[in-house]
A and B are shown apart, each in its own frame.
Chain A
Amino acid sequence: MDIFGLSRSQMRSIVAEGLKGGDWCDLYFEQTVYHDLLLRDGAVASGGFHLDYGCGVRVLSGEKTGYAYAESTDFQALMDAARAARAIAGSSGRFGVPAVSGEAPQYYPVLSPWEDASLERLAAWLVELEQAIRSREPRTLKVIAMMSWSQSDVLMYNSLDELTQDSRPLGSVSVTAIFGQQGRTEQRSTSRSLRCGAEMLGDGLLQELAAETVAGLDDSFAARRPKGGKMSVVMAAGASGILLHEAMGHAFEADFNRKGQSIFSDKMGRRVCRRGINIIDDATIPGCRGSIRYDDEGVPGQKTYMVTDGVLSSYLHDRISARFYGVEPTGNGRRESFRYNPIPRMRTTYMESGSDGSLQDLIASVRKGVYVDKFANGEVRIGEGDFTFYVNRGYLIENGRLTMPVKDINIIGNGPQALADIVGVAGDLKIDNGTWTCGKEQSVAVSCGIPSVLINNLTVGGE
């Protein structure tokens, strides 16, 4: 890529400098330009753009890492960074890193480049979005909507002379609306984020977001806190994939297992849930926020089965953990920017459809429990495996029927136990295209999905 202005021979020299202190050296060049527009109080009167440019130099010596970066791609600055990164030198272990070859397909073609879209058109789309919400729901008090789009151009070079590059678009729209009814207020949020161009901004998306923002508002005003305790939980298809991200995905990231920290670190090849369940982490879904052609170590994006027919079949690896375990990297080495070294991270994590009927069948099978379909955030304690996720919206299930609406409850469980307690998987897999961001040490864009599932014995917060 010309924007970085270095020849391959110069990159080779920088890597050679780093290798004086290690057995592996790689370079990660990045230019990211991020734009945003904010609609507030009926007008798009705030916006801007932000440029981030630089290169990270990583030196590995055995499993140990030296890392430095420069906010320029000046040759001498990067030679200095290589010298700083090789400060890790002196450790003992030396074992090779396998070459990774192959051209990855394009998972995010851009039909309508963001830079060709006029700001006036983009701003008008946000204004129309507010109008669509207000026309659907007269109780609308306020609407805040943000549109952002970024382009990350990355180039990776390593001591195997592998040179890889990628251009990653990411467009996002998020909307938060406040509604009022008899002196009470309710807040609703929804979002979309896709790796594509401005073609995502059609009328279809606008109407979808407006409809989602106001859907079930009467129930939100009527919602109450349930009586808390352990109960069966039916999780709707789509955003409920947060369950997989928090309860299982992090625990399957190989760095936690390599260090013996994960509750799953001794369970490879063992049954972790019932037969027929497949759990995947996938970089290859076209246009998906979690997709990457190459990971941030230059390894092609892949579809990785973490659980196959109920058995733990793979961790998520970067190059360090892959060589530790003696397996091929799975393309999960990711980083927030050139300021960070890559670590194993999820991409789009989901469960394949099952054969236990429909969502309605799952609900009908529950005598007492909750149904949940809209979420905020989650978290996990890796050692214990305790995970939580916050539920914005749901319903009580009583004798197989949805009854009282509920909201603002946290649900807590234990990863291995929750996996074992999945007793129903419907055939309605849905990938959620919200603005999911994972915050393990660094922030990276991810996504998640799941078919409707029934889990026994999760603890639901309540009064």
Chain B
Amino acid sequence: MISQEELSLARECLDIARACGASACRVTLTKSTENLIATLDGQIDKVTRCADRSMSIAIFADGRFGSFSTNKLESEALRDFIGKATDTVRMLSADEFRRLPDALRYCTAARSGLEMDLYDEAWNSLGAEDRTRMAMEACVTGKVPHAGLDPASPGYRLISEEGEFSDSEYDTYVLDSQGLECRHCETSFDYGVEVTIEDADGNKYSDYWWTAAPRLKDFDAAACGATAVMRAASQIGSTPAPGGRYNMVVGAECASRLVTPLLNALNANSIQQGNSFLVGSLGKQLFSDGLTILDEPWRKGEAGAKLFDSEGVATKEAPIIENGIVKRYFVNTYMAAKTGMQATSEDAIRPRLCACGGSAKDKEALMALCGSGILVSDFNGGNCNMTTGDFSYGICGQLFENGRIVRPVHEMLVTGNFLQLWKNLVAAGSDFRTCATKLVPSLAFSDVDFSG
């Protein structure tokens, strides 16, 4: 945790900046400690201890602005650093729109950093033996039942398992020359595993799984290894399906890939530059009636919850897209001044895509709803043209008919345009993973182009 001495140092930075001639300044002090235990095939492979501190300083001087950071936090070094930073700012072009936020918008509720109930004191009592035990308990090498290499059964051999348990503590303190002081502390316990299996013909298949929780009592990695193995095994014998138009069901484990471009396109930075397919979309119904995405940053104890953004502005629980209508752009102080738009927050903090289209809760129910199509269990590369919304992604998954999986598919591409895709949203489940910071459930779309 950030010490009193470090808090004082951050405050001192404001004084130094002012003494150097800055008219305004924001300082963000971050401190984190992380321990990682990596395993390879059921044995400890790597132990890492990370301890980081960094001071980020935004300086406003003579109508100009610059952004700086350093991890040399001795008082004398900081004094020299801020002096040079202020000199640099003075050499940039003036920008009348650069300013600190309206102080009335500041978060005043994050004083101790513990308000969101995301800090687990149990982290402090975790020892090396506990970490090793948790990393080893999560391993499946030697434990996974499999059918060996009997060609008569869907046999496979686990040939590699790489796991990583990590636990971390993050502490962020933001203050500025208008009196802002905000703090956010959280702990996190994480496990991720990647496995490679080999089938009877010597073909390899790899897959992964992960989990995370802010509190140790909620952390359970027991199923991760087996889930990763089963996901890899589900790909045995995969081949491309014929190209064409299919219904598409996207599993909750990877569905946020389709939401991220929407959120990015709502950022005022992109909109002001014309580099967004959602320019001029505010208040318009562009998507399926069923599409509702809410920002829910105030949920105590939930991963991703936070009371303030990087400017110290209070976050807000509000719809981003509601019943297919765009309700909110993400507008920071600079973009608000520059464009005349109302300032909101810099980004979505903890977006949740709401269930729609009936009672289907998960991908199995969505497959039943769609009847036939392709279930996407992972994306492989691809990108989106932000000015047009055109996208193309590699995928692997399962071909399904009559609501049931028929066979695995891979080496396929899904191609389209995000405006059209989200018009074709058929239903969304409610099975989002609570360990993620974007809460996106399994999704079903109609009329999607696949190439294979």
A residues neighboring B (CB under 8 Å): 37, 40-41, 43-54, 63-72, 81, 84-85, 87-88, 91, 118-120, 123, 141-142, 144, 176, 178, 180, 185-187, 225, 228-229, 246, 259-261, 263, 339, 341, 376-390, 407-414, 459-463
Contacts and interface: CB of A to CB of B under 8 A. Distances in A.
- Top-4 shortest CB links A-B: A228-B451, A383-B206, A388-B381, A379-B381
Contacts of B449: 228, 462-463
A394 to B, nearest CB: 12
Contacts of A259: 40-41, 160, 162, 196
B402 interface: no
Interface string B30-48: 0000000000110111111
15 contacts: A44-B92, A44-B93, A65-B47, A84-B49, A123-B93, A142-B273, A259-B40, A259-B41, A341-B46, A377-B381, A380-B381, A386-B394, A412-B380, A460-B451, A461-B382
Given A87-B47, A381-B380, A410-B413, 15 more contacts: A41-B338, A50-B70, A65-B46, A69-B51, A87-B128, A120-B91, A185-B388, A187-B387, A229-B243, A385-B204, A386-B380, A408-B391, A410-B394, A412-B394, A459-B413
A459 B391 CA distance: 16
B451 A390 contact: no
A68 B48 contact: yes
Contacts of B71: 51-54, 71
Contacts of A88: 44, 46-47
B24 to A, nearest CB: 15
Interface stretch (B2-10, B59-67, B99-107): B59-67
Contact of B411 (A84, A187, A386, A407): A386
B91 A119 contact: yes
Contacts of B40: 259
Contacts of A119: 88, 91-92
Contacts of A228: 243, 413, 415, 449-451
Contacts of A377: 381, 383
Given A119-B92, A414-B411, A142 B275 contact: yes
A408 B206 contact: no
B205 A339 contact: no
Nearest to B74: A72
Given A87-B128, A187-B387, A390 B392 contact: yes
A455 B43 CA distance: 42
Contacts of B319: none
A49 B386 contact: no
B48 A461 contact: no
B218 interface: no
Contact of A178 (B44, B205, B273, B393): B273
B47 A408 contact: no
Nearest to B238: A384
Interface string B402-429: 0000000011111110000000000000
Contacts of B450: 228
B159 interface: yes
Most B CB atoms within 10 A — which of A187, A377, A387, A410? A410
Interface of B: 40-41, 43-53, 64-72, 81, 84-85, 88, 91-95, 98, 128, 159-160, 162, 196-197, 203-206, 232, 235, 240, 243, 273-275, 338, 380-383, 385-388, 390-394, 396, 410-416, 449-452
A412 B51 contact: no
The SS class assigned to the B binding surface is strand
B131 to A, nearest CB: 10
Contacts of A411: 413
A54 B450 CA distance: 48
Contacts of B160: 259-261
A459 B412 contact: yes
B382 A410 contact: yes
A192 B32 CA distance: 34
Contacts of B396: 381, 384, 386
B52 A71 contact: yes
A40 B203 CA distance: 50
A261 B394 contact: no
Contacts of B383: 376-377, 390, 408, 410
Contacts of A389: 381
A52 B68 CA distance: 11
Nearest to A64: B45
A47 B88 contact: yes
A41 B339 CA distance: 12
B20 to A, nearest CB: 15
Contact of B66 (A48, A144, A407): A48
Contacts of B52: 71, 339
Given A48-B68, A53-B71, A387 B46 contact: no
B380 A388 contact: yes
Contacts of B382: 379, 388, 390, 410, 461
Nearest to B48: A67
B387 A384 contact: no
Contacts of B128: 87
B170 to A, nearest CB: 15
A278 to B, nearest CB: 26
Nearest to B68: A48
A65 B45 contact: yes
B50 to A, nearest CB: 6
B64 A45 contact: yes
Given A386-B410, A461-B392, A46 B47 contact: no
Nearest to B59: A48
Contacts of B69: 48, 50-51
A355 B50 CA distance: 51
A384 B416 CA distance: 25
Contacts of A462: 413, 415, 449, 451
B160 to A, nearest CB: 5
A164 B55 CA distance: 30
A66 B415 contact: no
A335 B357 CA distance: 47
A222 to B, nearest CB: 13
A144 B98 CA distance: 17
B381 A47 contact: no
A64 B160 CA distance: 16
Contacts of A185: 274, 387-388
Nearest to A339: B50
B400 to A, nearest CB: 21
Contacts of B393: 388, 410
B387 to A, nearest CB: 4
Residue of B160, B274, B382 contacting most chain A CB atoms (<10 Å) = B382
Nearest to B207: A383
B92 to A, nearest CB: 5
B197 to A, nearest CB: 8
A70 B383 CA distance: 37
A176 B393 CA distance: 22
